[in-house]
Structure 1
Amino acid sequence: MTRLVLLSGWGIDARIWQPLAPYWPDGIRVHTPDWPGYGERIHDLLPKTLSGLADEMRNDLASDAVWVGWSLGGLLAGALLSHLPPPRALVLVGIGARFCSEDGVRPAELATFRRAFDRDPRATWQHFLRWQLQGETAPGMAHRRLLDLLGGHPGASSQTLALGLDQLASLDLGERLAMPPCPIWRLAGERDKLLGKTARQAADRILTDCGHCPMLSRPEALASHCVELAHTGYGHRPAQDGSVS
């Protein structure tokens, strides 16, 4: 049995993975936990430290699974490699070593977004839903699908979302990508407007005809890539010294 743990990104809970459900083949066991403060765990406090987050997610992030982290979920999963036993593999979807880059979302752009969020969290969250869909082939249709999944209200408190913006601004996986404790693969939509060109070119696989949200625009292709990489991960196991055996 191949196990996948799917982790959602900023402002969006685990319901984002529902469109992939019809495409999982036999022999794949999928777990879609919410981060603390999101979705079914909306009343839990999102820990401010990575060590605290690791304690909260320890039962969900099993070492015999392949973790798939999308956007902020990928950054958090990568950061937790320093606090939890490494998984079979980590798949980063729609994220590079960091969220901000000079050829993608610039730090000043994120700072402007954070100021807008401080003024009106809900309206800024709604703007973000559209912003991340601008690279999709049919962004209007993708937006309707997203609202059908999530409704018109964030599945997280303003405090949780604000802490998530801090994480987007500060988390950096550069060291982990340079010295990974397990296989790490990156998937990128070829028209992902939140990823800079450099990050897209560094991806191991490119998803064509989609942007930042392939689970909405190309769920079958995303599921297929995740399964292929998971099977590869189950054929490799990190050795005690951090190398891949």
Structure 2
Amino acid sequence: MIHLTLLSGWGVNARVWQPLAPHWPADCQVNTVEWPGYAEHDSAPQAHDLAALAEAMRDTLSPESIWVGWSLGGLLAACLLSHLPPPKALILLGTGPKFCQLGGVSNTELGAFQKAFERAPEATWRHFLRWQTQGEPKPGDAHRRLRDLLGSRPSADIATLRAGLGHLATLDATRILEQPPCPVQHVYGGRDHLVSPEQRKHGLLLEGVGHCPMVSQPVRLAFTLARLAKASMLNSSVPEAHS
């Protein structure tokens, strides 16, 4: 049995994984978890305090599972490898070693987004939901599915969302991903404009999708994640390929 722990990204709770639920193979046991501050959990630790975040997640992030982190969830999971017992493997979906990259989201763009968030948090969050679905085959449909899953208001409080933006601005997992304590696999959407073209060269590429394949291509994504998880458990290398 393959045990997967799914971790969502900024401003998005675990409901984002629901479209995959009918499509997992029978030998996959899947657990979707919430970060602190989401879905009525206590507020997240401040952005600089990874040790506190690790303690908050210690009982949730089992070393006996494979962690699948999407977007900020993947970046946090990678950084927590320095603070928690490592999982069987880590799969990073739409996640580079740091959020701001040449050819992807710039520091200037993120800074402007942070300022907009301080002025109008909920409106900025709603804009982000639409923005991150732009690379999907049918962006309007993907945005409607995402909105239907998440509702009209964020499930995290303002302090948690602010801390998450701080993580996006400051976290850098480059060093730990150069010598990770467990197998690490990277998956990117071929049209994911939140990730640089250079970064997309270093992983398995899902052609024709963007940053949110769980709402645009759930069957394909479930199959891909299950395949990568099984390969990681067998300690076999997964070639960088197009899917």
Q: Indicate the TM-score class for this superposition, using the shorter chain for normalisation.
A: over 0.9
- CA distance in structure 1 between the aligned counterparts of 2:159 and 2:50, rounded to whole angstroms: 16
1:187 aligns with 187
Deviations 1:195-226 (A, max 9, x none): 111111122x1112210000011111111111
Once the two structures are superposed, the pairs formed by residues 148-227 of structure 1 within 5 Å of their partners are: 148-203=148-203, 205-227=204-226
Q: Give the paired residue count.
A: 234
Letter in 2 for 1:137: P
2:23 aligns with 23
Instruction: For structure 2, list consecutive stretches of 5 or more residues without a partner in the other structure.
Output: 237-243
1:94 corresponds to 2:94: yes
Q: CA deviation at 1:43?
A: 4.0
Judge conservation of contact 2:6–2:31 (CA < 8 Å) in 1: yes
Once the two structures are superposed, the pairs formed by residues 137-148 of structure 1 within 5 Å of their partners are: 137-148=137-148
1:240 aligns with none
Letter in 2 for 1:97: P
SS in 2 for 1:202: coil
Q: Among the aligned pairs, what percent are the same residue?
A: 53
Once the two structures are superposed, the pairs formed by residues 36-55 of structure 1 within 5 Å of their partners are: 36-39=36-39, 42-48=40-46, 49-55=49-55
SS in 2 for 1:97: coil
- CA distance in structure 1 between the aligned counterparts of 2:143 and 2:209, rounded to whole angstroms: 13
Letter in 2 for 1:122: E
- CA distance in structure 2 between the aligned counterparts of 1:236 and 1:88, rounded to whole angstroms: 10
Letter in 2 for 1:147: R
Judge conservation of contact 2:9–2:71 (CA < 8 Å) in 1: yes
SS in 2 for 1:212: coil
Q: CA deviation at 1:177?
A: 1.3
Deviations 1:162-192 (A, max 9, x none): 0000000011110011111101110000000
Judge conservation of contact 2:43–2:157 (CA < 8 Å) in 1: no
Letter in 2 for 1:108: T
- CA distance in structure 2 between the aligned counterparts of 1:25 and 1:185, rounded to whole angstroms: 19
Q: CA deviation at 1:62?
A: 0.7
Deviations 1:14-54 (A, max 9, x none): 00000000111111110001001012xx3402122111111
After the TM superposition, which of the residue ranges 43-52 and 220-229 deviates more from structure 2?
43-52
Q: CA deviation at 1:236?
A: 3.1
2:239 aligns with none
- CA distance in structure 2 between the aligned counterparts of 1:232 and 1:84, rounded to whole angstroms: 23
* TM-score (normalizing by structure 2): 0.94
Moved over 2 A (4+): none
Letter in 1 for 2:56: E
1:65 aligns with 65
* TM-score (normalizing by structure 1): 0.93
1:131 aligns with 131
Letter in 1 for 2:210: G
- CA distance in structure 1 between the aligned counterparts of 2:43 and 2:148, rounded to whole angstroms: 26
Instruction: For structure 1, list consecutive stretches of 5 or more residues without a partner in the other structure.
Output: 238-245
SS in 1 for 2:81: helix
Q: CA deviation at 1:147?
A: 1.1
- CA distance in structure 1 between the aligned counterparts of 2:231 and 2:201, rounded to whole angstroms: 21
Deviations 1:67-113 (A, max 9, x none): 00000000000000001111010000001111101211000000000
1:228 aligns with 227
Letter in 2 for 1:25: P
Judge conservation of contact 1:88–1:236 (CA < 8 Å) in 2: no
Letter in 2 for 1:176: I
